[in-house]
Chains A and B, each alone.
Chain A
Amino acid sequence: MEYKAPSSIDEAVMLLAQANGKAHVLAGGTDLLVQIRAGFTKPTLVVDVKNILELRTISVADDGVCIGAAVTGAELGEHDAVKAAWPGLVEATELIGSTQIQGRASLGGNLCNASPAADTVPALVAASAICLIAGPNGQREAPVEQIVTGPGQTSLKNSEFVVQFQLPKKLPRSADAYLRFIPRTEMDIAVVGAGVNLTLDKKGICQQARVALGAVAPTVLLVEAGAKALIGSTLDDAALDKLRAAASAACNPIDDKRGTVEFRVDVAGVLAKRAVLIAKQRAEMN
């Protein structure tokens, strides 16, 4: 295995494009090193992207927030402006692993590892995050929900990688929230995850909504029927019941010792509803 740590996007693209054999981007390595050790992947080249400024920078502007794909969970959790604007995304990120894992784990790695249970992905999808992707044909943009195509599979083409996540301008009376269910309180992988992003008007009527679920299907789900149940309502019990039913109906989960199908389907509805209530409370305050 060869290791390279380029300092520019172009150099990284070139290294990836010229690789013979399996090449992997390396961000925090908290998935990749485990997989290499387990023999699941045997790269001949690893391209460490942590020395590339664009992937390590968080920038906050009037038209939104940009988060470098290799920014660590710890760095994001310490960024007050992002925390204030996107508390749900930050809480999803901070759920990843332990303090030690937080020191390395990135949003880019969490997305591109393509685990159905990745915690930040429902939060990114709910937030309408867009990926900036670099590749041999220049840069392109794609919504986060188009990246993962199945467990361990992405739509990224050879030698493409994610540079940064662009979050839209934060509207007044808007907020996001993320909740997950795990059988213990720390250090576990989601049995269900639910991300929600809402915009209310002055009267408290929901104008926009995005609802995304993790760990209940081969990829993260954007539940449009759930959003529809909320938009136009005051998020009253009737709307929340409809949302809960829509979230449960969207699920197509696995059955394992950590959660039966029936349990995951039910919990997805419950968590979606609770996440809406948290987002609502936050939206009313800003």
Chain B
Amino acid sequence: MKARPTMSTSLIIKIASRNLLQDRLRFIATIVGIVFSIVLVNIQMGLFLSFERMVTTMIDHAPADLWIVPFGTKCFEDPSLLDAQDRTKALAVPGVSQATPVMIGFSEWTVPNGGTTPVFVIGSDESGAGLHPWNVTQGDTASLSSPNAVAVDATYFGRLGITKLGDTTEIRGQKARISEITDGIRSFTTTPYVFAPLARAQAYMGTPPGKVSYLLVNLAPNTDIAAVRNQLQTKLSKVEVLTPDEFRNRSRNFWLFGTGAGAALFAGALLGAIVGTVIIAQTLYSSTKDHLNEFATLRAIGSSNLYINKIIISQAVLSAVIGFAVAAGIGLIVVGMTARTALPIVMTPELTGGLFLLTVLMCVTSSVAAVVQVVRIDPARVFRQ
């Protein structure tokens, strides 16, 4: 009689699940191991994604076709400066419809009830295609043109020592007044962003006269972007002309990999995965050891190694599914809890799917030891037990 290709899996799953549940304590230990491991990987990768998004958030919100940046700029936060006259030269290039100066840099915010805190100032003229605050919940863009007007994010109220629209303070000894409040413009450096008109921003930062950080270039309709870029590159010296994508990649590479932050997050995730795999392997191995007589019986009554391996793999996959479900629940709670903080953990469908695959992979990898043990089993031992 030859085995038919269609195999009933229900009995396999029954045996697998009962093997798992028979030793409750060990089962809980397995699940806890998987959950810890996956939550750790989840947090690390969620931070990575969050970091990745935040690193480019300013570039994402700048309505530019091209960026003129000081030569060698490594990231958006780079303190190098351009000559302000470059704007005139850029505007002279055919196809360039706007070249908007943007000023960025660190400064010192006086907390009204004592002390100071560093802030990251972004200056851009309120008219035209500059880098303006978004997600404005109170005040309006026009209000930034009023004297000493700045925009800040509600997330940082505590840090900045302010509570509401109209509060006043000083930045580097110069007056500032909260005239716009945004929601969710957060910095991965955890330094609060402060938006101000260009000239005020320069004053807040003490920028040397005639200098700006970036020029945002907008093109006339139907302009060949590559041609304009070449011309800008040849007309201007000591600058680089980048597309937003290029600038994003540069920023990302600098912050995530240049600084080692990304590598640290990945290393943490890898460690989590390895520890998880070892824990599951250990519990699966000891579970298999406990059921060795039953596996020997299966072998004695003529089951194939495949059949037995399916039971062990099913044990692994069942653990994975249950462990993942719990981990995903905890992950959602963590995402919810960090959503309003300076460094929210991000969950995407891709990350969720990836984590599930990782869980299954971890569990299946860890069943190797158990499988090897069972394959070597001597069916004749059933006569001696």
- Whether A associates with B in a native complex is no
List residues of chain A with CB under 8 Å of any chain B CB: none
